[in-house]
Structure 1
Amino acid sequence: MLSHASFVLEADRDRTVLQVDGGCAVPNWSFRKFVAEMDMSARGPFDAVLGGAEPFGETEFQAKTGTGARRWLLGRIRSMPDGTFRGLFVTIDGIKEREDRDRVIRHEMAHRFKNHISVVQSLARLSLRHPGMPSDAIDVFEARLMNLARSHDLLDRQEMSGASLRDVVDEAIAPFEPRPGRFLITETPIVVTPRIAKALALALHELCTNSIKYGALSSPAGTIELSWRIDLAKDRADLYLSWVERGGPPIRQLPTRTGFGTRIIRDWLAAETGGAVTIDYTPLGLTLSLRAPLPRVASQNQ
């Protein structure tokens, strides 16, 4: 039984507790038994220390108090040179309650966001269905809207703290890759902020849409090389992302007008990331590069 809201313990080589809070002995209280009663999903780090595989372990778990109530604890234990073990345990019930409350709020916000998406979708269908509008206007708009919804779902799954850039890319290109091998991806792991995740998701959607109409994805042999890395200099750090199309129809002339999709890719992406976007229409295919300051795009939750 746990009778302290927070405590420090010292255990001998047999994992029997010698002291709690620096002086209060607890007879017949076995730390090994205490760990054995923890949830299997939480006890791994402690088992590793007790078994000698790791010198330090940390985990969050629930334990019974002397009154039978269950409390959330953050526990840390360390093996000492003399073979004993020392640990620190602190109650985190308040933190867990706030996390639960935040989770409920996020899910409610996600539900409302999806309702708003449905309303906007219905308004678009009514507004765009009249003579003079392009025949695919509704489909194009809805595809952009669904891409935004998918990026929001990804962020919700990762608790709105940011998203892995690889996950953002995978979500964005999934509808355009019916078979593997069309996208050749080289990556440096990075977590981007929610705002940057949405901007990149929309830009990648526009790139894929353009490619499937006119570029590499319109050809069975076409491929897209998509890569990103972190460039470090003495006075700055940048995210560098590159999109290179190969194997599609040759580009014989430059576009005569700047469409909405191009403005999203070039202007809005640059504004959101605080970086520079370069688009080149080479004879071999479209290429794009983005260079943005890392502090502007990277989440603090790396």
Structure 2
Amino acid sequence: MISDEQLRLLFESAPNGMIVTDRAGRVMFVNAHVEQLFGYSREELIGRPIEILVPERFRAGHTGLRDGFARNPRPRPMGAGRDLYGRRKDGDEFPLEIGINPFRTDDGNFVVASVVDISERKRHEEHIRFIMNELSHRSKNLLMVVLAIANQTVQRAISFGEFQKLFEDRLMAIGRCHDLLVEKGWAGASIDGLISAQIEQFTGIAARIDAEGPAIMIHPEAAQNIGLAFHELAMNAVKYGALSSPDGRVVIRWDVDQTHTTKRFRLTWEEQGGPPVDPPRHEGFGHKLLSRISRNSLDGTVSGLAFRPEGLSWRLECPGELVIRH
């Protein structure tokens, strides 16, 4: 037989909070873990109604539940499908799970409750829900981008082979943007990183890219759009623009204009030393993409998708809060 002292030691060593109440709901015993969870000493709890550990808004209802349990006492597993909360001595509330079990002694009927603080688990569950919602949102956005790229590419391709090559290149450009974002836990991406990721596919041009600006972290959605813009500009420069000539170069500059009431992000791409540039006869995918990114995605303006004789230039200016992640 287990002695009363052994039973007390067993309760004290339990990893969970252990509470014993009598039929009237008065606290008869608590272990040290309960003292830690609720901030009361056991002297403050012994003889008090169990409702002292229940948030005030639930106390009236809890009394009815306790009375119902007393009329039909049976073991209740932890969690029983309900969100339960405890109230600490300082008034702070926290989520918990409770398992209750009736037992009878020569001194009468009692209830033993096992209490577990599940605050950390709730935080993890909330974080998982947030991640799943973000994943759903980003997946839908990515699908829309892919569909738009496919539609625009197929309209301009003169053969299936050309469509396949252009479409694959643009999907790979999106993939490179996503790789950068994953590295940073989707917190954003640096402009330097976006430039490097989109030009690395072209052999031997890195030395002819002059990129300079302050260290800025770009919002994930803006990073994807700006990364695609760099891809289209680089691909055009290699095929037709400054980087198709051995002496050509590209100058990329970015900064934040703080003279306005709201900060303005500014980005320029200027090609120099390439073959003479003539305005295109048709507005291709790259042209549409650069305009769409500026007007629709970033609420910005393009003050020069300009086909200058000395080289193409592109300028983006938009509200800083739509681009910069602080």
**TM-score when normalising by structure 2:** 0.53
1: CA distance between counterparts of 2:285 and 2:162?
Answer: 14
* Structure 1 residues 172-187: aligned runs within 5 Å: 172-187=198-213
Q: Which amino acid aligns with 2:282?
A: R
Q: Specify the alignment match of 1:199 in structure 2.
A: 225
Q: Structure 1 153/213 Cα, relative in aligned 2: closer, same or farther at 3 Å?
A: same
Q: Structure 1 142/256 Cα, relative in aligned 2: closer, same or farther at 3 Å?
A: same
* Structure 1 residues 126-165: aligned runs within 5 Å: 133=159, 135-165=161-191
Residue 287 in structure 1 maps to residue 313 in structure 2: yes
Residue-by-residue CA offset, 1:153-194 (whole Å, 9 max, x unaligned) = 111111112112221222122212525411001111111111
Q: Specify the alignment match of 1:216 in structure 2.
A: 242
SS at match of 1:227: strand
2: CA distance between counterparts of 1:234 and 1:167?
Answer: 28
Q: Specify the alignment match of 2:283 in structure 1.
A: 258
SS at match of 1:264: helix
Q: Structure 1 94/173 Cα, relative in aligned 2: closer, same or farther at 3 Å?
A: farther
Measured after TM superposition, the shift of residue 261 of structure 1 is 1.4
Identity of aligned residues (%): 32
8 Å CA contact 1:221–1:248 kept in 2: the answer is yes
2: CA distance between counterparts of 1:165 and 1:99?
Answer: 34
SS at match of 2:280: coil
Q: Specify the alignment match of 2:298 in structure 1.
A: 273
Q: Which amino acid aligns with 2:309?
A: P
Q: Specify the alignment match of 2:257 in structure 1.
A: 231
Q: Which amino acid aligns with 1:160?
A: W
8 Å CA contact 1:217–1:223 kept in 2: the answer is yes
Q: Structure 1 103/166 Cα, relative in aligned 2: closer, same or farther at 3 Å?
A: farther
Q: Which runs of 5+ in 1 are unaligned?
A: 1-92
CA RMSD of aligned residues (A): 3.4
1: CA distance between counterparts of 2:184 and 2:176?
Answer: 13
* Count of residues in Structure 1 that have an aligned counterpart in Structure 2: 195
8 Å CA contact 1:280–1:288 kept in 2: the answer is yes
SS at match of 2:305: strand
- Deviating beyond 6 angstroms after TM superposition, the runs of 4 or more aligned structure 1 residues are none
The structure whose residues are more often helix, as a share, is 2
Higher-Rg structure is 2
Measured after TM superposition, the shift of residue 260 of structure 1 is 1.1
Q: Which amino acid aligns with 1:185?
A: A
8 Å CA contact 1:216–1:285 kept in 2: the answer is yes
8 Å CA contact 2:294–2:318 kept in 1: the answer is no
8 Å CA contact 1:240–1:292 kept in 2: the answer is yes
8 Å CA contact 2:200–2:206 kept in 1: the answer is no
**TM-score when normalising by structure 1:** 0.57
8 Å CA contact 1:219–1:248 kept in 2: the answer is yes
8 Å CA contact 1:274–1:292 kept in 2: the answer is yes
2: CA distance between counterparts of 1:237 and 1:101?
Answer: 32
Aligned residue among 229, 249, 267 for 1:241: 267
